[in-house]
Each structure stands twice: as structure tokens, then as C-alpha cells.
Copies of this chain bind each other. A is one copy, B any other.
Amino acid sequence: ARPRVGYTYNSEHDVDSRLSLLHELTVADHLAVSVSVSESCSVYDAAVTMFLEDTGTLFVVNDGRLVGVLSRKDLLKVTLGGGDTKAMPVTLAMTRVPHIVTITPEASLYDAAVLMVRHEVDALPVVKNDDTGTGFAVVGRVSKTTITRAFVELGQRYTV
């Protein structure tokens, strides 16, 4: 019998084409602008920057190299203590390199999502090795917001 067009196709191929949809999304194509503060910044100034830039994660840099990551959770922990946040250095509250999960622009958004779920973080610094080879230069940010937007875009491409 002659197969009906529309239902006779290799399901292996179909799986592959679905796969590429999600797995072809790259970090580079979904890069958000990173917001950084200097290592010499106070906890108070970092929090103000977070509000002004409306971001949930700040990167702490020294001379262009990534030295730490600061989340809203980190900030809340120290502000709740009730000390003088203007006198408190941001380095006291941040998570330090090398205890930071990073990703490169060439990676897939899927890999970024896996890392955020596994390490229970809301955002990842997107980094390149800097010219001197002594550390990471931050080129952007991906977050759970990035993934949520990508999820919506995938859904929109196949609306009923």
C-alpha cells in the first residue's frame, strides 16, 4: 500500500530535528549584558547597583578579571545582620573564584540550564580566558530569566 503523505516519515529523523531546535540555542545568541562592580565597592553600593540595573546577580571584578559573584540571597544575608552596609566590603558577601560556576559563549543554552539546576544558582557569568591567561574576562550573563525567555520563544515558534 502506498503510504499516506503526512504520516510516513522516519521517526529517528523527526527526533533529530526536534532535538536541534532546543540544543541549537547557544549562550552567545542569548547573552544578557553583565553588570559588574569593583572589588573595592561596599555592600550598600552593590545593592544600590543591583536595584538601579534591575538585576539579580552582580559580578565582582578586579582589573577586568572575575573575582566573585554576588546574588540577592548573598546580599540579603548580610543586610539582615543589621551591620553598617556602607562600611562593609562587597568581598565579605560574595562567592569567590574558584567556587563559581562559569560558562563560555560557545556552549549551548541547554548546558547553561543544566549547570544552573545542578549548582542551584540563578545566573552564570559568561567568560573568556583573558589575554594574559591569568583569569576570566566576563563577556556577559545567562540566567533563569534567559532560559524562561528561550522557553517562551520555542513555544511561540509552534503555537496552535
Binding site for B on A (CB under 8 A): 5-10, 12-19, 21-23, 44, 47-48, 50-51, 56, 72-73, 75-77, 79-80, 82, 85, 109-110, 113-114, 116-117, 122, 144-145, 147-152, 154-155, 158-160
Among B76, B85, B151, the residue within 8 A (CB) of A72 is: B76
Extra A-B contacts (16), CB below 8 Å, given A44-B80, A80-B85: A6-B9, A6-B12, A7-B9, A8-B8, A9-B9, A22-B151, A51-B76, A56-B72, A72-B76, A76-B79, A82-B85, A113-B155, A114-B152, A117-B148, A117-B152, A147-B147
Contacts of A76 in B (CB 8 A): 47, 50-51, 72, 75-76, 79
CB distance from A151 to the nearest CB of B (A): 5
Chain B, residue nearest A84 (CB): B82
User: What is the bound-complex CA distance between A92 and B44, given in angstroms?
Assistant: 21
- Chosen A-B contacts, 18 in total, with CB atoms closer than 8 Å, are A6-B9, A7-B9, A8-B8, A9-B9, A18-B21, A19-B160, A22-B154, A23-B155, A23-B160, A51-B76, A56-B122, A76-B76, A79-B80, A113-B152, A114-B155, A117-B148, A147-B147, A148-B148
Chain B, residue nearest A10 (CB): B6
Contacts of A152 in B (CB 8 A): 110, 113-114, 117
Of residues A19, A80, A148, which shows the largest number of chain B Cβ atoms within 10 Å of its Cβ?
A: A148
Of residues A44, A110, A151, which shows the largest number of chain B Cβ atoms within 10 Å of its Cβ?
A: A151
CB distance from A129 to the nearest CB of B (A): 26
User: What is the bound-complex CA distance between A75 and B51, given in angstroms?
Assistant: 12
